[in-house]
Copies of this chain bind each other. A is one copy, B any other.
Amino acid sequence: MGPGPYERHRELLQQAVRAIATGGYCAPFTHAGHGAADAGMRSTRTAGKVFGSLLGRAFELDQPGELGRVSTESSPYGIAMDIGYPRCDPAALVAEAGRATAGWRAAGPYRRAWLAVEILRRLNTRSHELALAVHHTTGQSLQAAFRAAGPRAQDRALEAVAHAFAESARVPADLSWESTRHRRQPLAMRGTCTLVPRGVSLLIGCPDYPLWNGYPGLFASLVTGNPVIVAPHPRAVLPLAITVRVIRQVLAEAGHAPDIVSLAVAEPEQRLHRRLALDPAVRIVDFTGSARFADWLEQHAHQAAVFANRTGLNAVVVDSTEDYRGLVRGLAHSLCLCSGTVRTTPQNILVPAAGITTDEGRKSLRDFGADLSEAVDRLLGHPARVARLLGAIVGDEVRAGLAQATRYGPVVHASAALRHPDHPGADVRSPLLVRLGARDERVYAREWPGPVSFLVSTESTSHSLALLRGTVGRHGALFAAVHSTDPLVLAAAETAALDAGVHLVQNLADDLPADPSSASADLPAAGAHFVTGRFRVVRSRRHVPAAGTAVVEPERSPVPDGGSAASLVDV
């Protein structure tokens, strides 16, 4: 099988590989028209029709072992979804994925990466449809859903593809050398290195960012040759179901077994995720979410490499600022955004009891809390902003958390039920901010879902940094932030963040500006390990036969003319 029609994606892939190697930025889908991004993205209107046509029907995937249908979703915006996904025998999905492994391995990294780019290109044309699917399953506003499911998510996936491809292509394919060991005459030797995928990969979807969090592991596994079973969260199936259908179409068109990627859905009480995670044939598990389930995976799924991305305890250390208004406004924005579910939502805001120095003079802890609370109200003063910023609450555990958290300390900002301008039935809540003392660790050293945050009073900024180091070091976090005008405090914060192993943002109050490698910055294992842990390299060695002897070379992946792996990577 030749490289096929998808070799045209080679240049795009090269750009992405180059960007990784140099710390540059490659976002062809976000910067549409730039690079090889597809200009054929469907309009919102067409997408709305397509989305509508999915509702109240069976979602066909033509998967093996189908036992029946299952519907698990309901839109927080009051639209009846009733989409009937195939409920397949998990053993059949695993078995088919296992059977597809050898063929997918033999396709080689070039072909796999090109196909992955083709998949992303097709997903790109469905960005609005995917955004609607995310909107109606996660409760995110349409704008937020488009950010998390559209071109930005595709660029993030492309970065995973490029990482996986670059690591695969770095494996030297052919070796030849002379051996003199134990012999009088040198013996001419040849060797072949083959990337051997680890095995069936399982993606456990999360309820809030099913694509943003799911794509990196899905595409890293695919490009390194591992079949993937996608098991979405029962509340957010559709975005991943559409993704799986697109992938299966591309695979089938290219002559590969579609069962290289399949969708596993069941009634929540069947605990399908746990069952699949413990299947002896499942060798990779990707998961983003609570530390509790991540711990369970690491303690039980011994047969698999577990890539668990713990959401953890995002923390903000406030010491001093030259832009008090900007700081307060930015923090208020972060507290509201997507009802506190984004990866930068601060859970714990650590502030010295004695207050902070600002360009508007000294601010006590009480002032700061009141100003923050006012800023939240100002931000949510307009219904359009409520709809755009907050979105709707989906999970009961979020409602329970909002009620419970008020018991632990004085409420700085109460969570109110707000009215959504377009969907009166949607459950929309403003963020809750509760004041705690440093000694209330049993409360703030726990992950709270949704818009629950704590204003933690500390003895000093050093004390704040010590709490950051301790709680984040133990429980993990996606980000930490520090606000200070003192270079020594910033340097101490850098060290504390390194000790806790967390990304740090300095003096940036609102949602993080995109950075050259923002996608990989929060890949679960943040770096090459996320890719290299998905395969091993197996070597075959032989004596070079005398001239005239026929040799059957093992099937090799097609390498484009004039382009060795090295030349593609060493740009």
Q: Which of B175, B181, B498 contacts A23 (CB under 8 A)? A: B175
A196–B542 Cα distance when bound, in Å, is 40
8 A Cβ contacts from A158-196 to B: 167, 170-172, 174-175, 177, 179-183, 187, 189, 191-194, 196
Q: Is the interface of A mostly helix, strand, loop or mixed?
A: mixed
Interface hub of A526, A536, A538 (most chain B Cβ within 10 A): A538
Q: Which residues of chain B come closer than 8 Å to A182, judged between CB atoms? A: 510-511, 513
Q: What CA separation (Å) do A480 and B218 show in the bound complex? A: 32
How far does the alpha carbon of A167 sit from the alpha carbon of B170 in the complex, in Å?
Answer: 12
Shortest distance between the CB of A111 and any CB in chain B (Å): 17
**Interchain nearest-CB distance for A344 vs B (Å):** 11
Q: Is the Cβ of A506 less than 8 Å from the Cβ of B540?
A: yes
For residue A58, CB closer than 8 A to chain B, the reply is: no
How far apart sit A541 and B506, CA to CA, in the bound complex (Å)?
Answer: 6
Q: CB within 8 A of A538: which of B196, B526, B555? A: B526
| Contact status of A504 and B541, CB under 8 A, knowing A187-B513, A550-B487 | yes
**Is A517's beta carbon under 8 Å from chain B?**
yes
A499 to B187, CA, bound (A): 28
Q: A491-B552, A504-B538, A505-B541 are in contact. Are A527 and B532 (CB under 8 A)?
A: yes
A551-B487 in contact (CB<8A)? yes
- B contact residues around A46 at 8 Å (CB): none
Decide yes or no whether A374 CB sits under 8 A from chain B. no
Given A510-B182, A513-B182, check contact A23 B172 (CB 8 Å).
Answer: yes
A142 vs B295: C-alpha distance when bound (angstroms): 48
Q: Is A447 positioned at the interface, with any CB of B under 8 Å from its CB?
A: no
Over the window 547-562 of chain A, the binary record of Cβ atoms lying under 8 Å from chain B Cβ atoms (1 yes, 0 no) is: 0001110110000000
A257 within 8 Å of B by Cβ? no
Confirm or deny: A298 has a beta carbon within 8 angstroms of a beta carbon on chain B: yes
Within 8 A of B (CB), among A48-74: none
The reply to whether A175 and B516 form a contact with Cβ atoms under 8 Å apart is yes
Select from chain B the residue with minimum beta-carbon distance to A330.
B182
Knowing A23-B172, A491-B552, A535-B527, the reply to whether A179 touches B566 (Cβ < 8 A) is no
Whether B538 contacts A502 by the Cβ 8 Å rule is yes
Q: Are B529 and A533 in contact (CB under 8 A)?
A: yes
Name the contact of A515 in the complex, choosing from B102, B175, B513, B551 (C-beta under 8 A): B175
In the bound complex, CA of A172 to CA of B179 (Å): 38
Chain B proximity of A78: nearest CB distance (Å): 30
Asked if B528 contacts A495 (CB within 8 A), the reply is no
Contacts A491-B552, A511-B182, A516-B191; A498 near B196 (Cβ below 8 A): yes
Q: Are B189 and A503 neighbours in the complex by a CB distance under 8 Å?
A: no
A residues 134-178 in Cβ contact with B at 8 Å: 167, 170-172, 174-175, 177
A465-501 vs B, Cβ < 8 Å mask (1 yes, 0 no): 0000000000000000000000110110011011101
Closest B residue to A481 by beta carbon equals B541
Return the contact of A498 from the options B105, B181, B511, B550 (Cβ within 8 A): B105
The reply to whether the CB of A417 lies closer than 8 angstroms to some CB of chain B is: no
Contact: B517 with A175, CB < 8 Å? yes
- A498 contacts which chain B residues (CB < 8 A)? 102, 105, 194, 196, 538
Question: Across the interface, which residues of B come within 8 angstroms of A171, CB to CB?
Answer: 527
Bound form: Cα–Cα A516–B539 in Å? 11
Q: Find out whether the CB atom of B527 lies under 8 angstroms from the CB atom of A529.
A: no
Question: Which of B196, B494, B552 contacts A487 (CB under 8 A)?
Answer: B552
Q: Are A507 and B542 in contact (CB under 8 A)?
A: yes
Contact status of A515 and B22, CB under 8 A, knowing A491-B552, A537-B527: no
Q: Smallest CB-CB separation from A186: which chain B residue?
A: B513
CB distance A540 to B504 under 8 Å?
A: yes
Give Cα A543–Cα B483 distance, bound, in whole angstroms: 12
Contacts of A23 in B (CB 8 A): 172, 174-175, 193
Find out whether the CB atom of B490 lies under 8 angstroms from the CB atom of A552: yes
Give A86 to B532 CA distance when docked, in angstroms.
39
Query: Taking CB as reference atom, which chain B residue is nearest A508?
Result: B543
Give chain A interface residues in 182-222, CB to chain B under 8 Å: 182-183, 187, 189, 191-194, 196
- How distant is the Cα of A172 from the Cα of B517 in the complex, in angstroms? 10
Asked whether A515 lies within 8 Å of B566 as measured between CB atoms, the reply is no
From A171, which residue of chain B is reached at the shortest CB distance?
B527
CB distance A566 to B22 under 8 Å? yes
- A497 and B298 contact, Cβ closer than 8 Å, known pairs A179-B515, A528-B528: no
- A403 contacts chain B at the CB level, 8 A cutoff: no
Shortest beta-carbon distance, A442 to chain B, in Å? 19
Q: Which residues of B contact A505 (CB under 8 A)?
A: 540-542
| Sample (10) of A-B pairs whose CB atoms are under 8 Å apart | A23-B174, A23-B175, A177-B516, A191-B515, A298-B302, A490-B552, A495-B554, A503-B541, A504-B541, A529-B532
Pick the 3 closest A-B CB pairs, nearest first: A23-B172, A179-B513, A487-B552
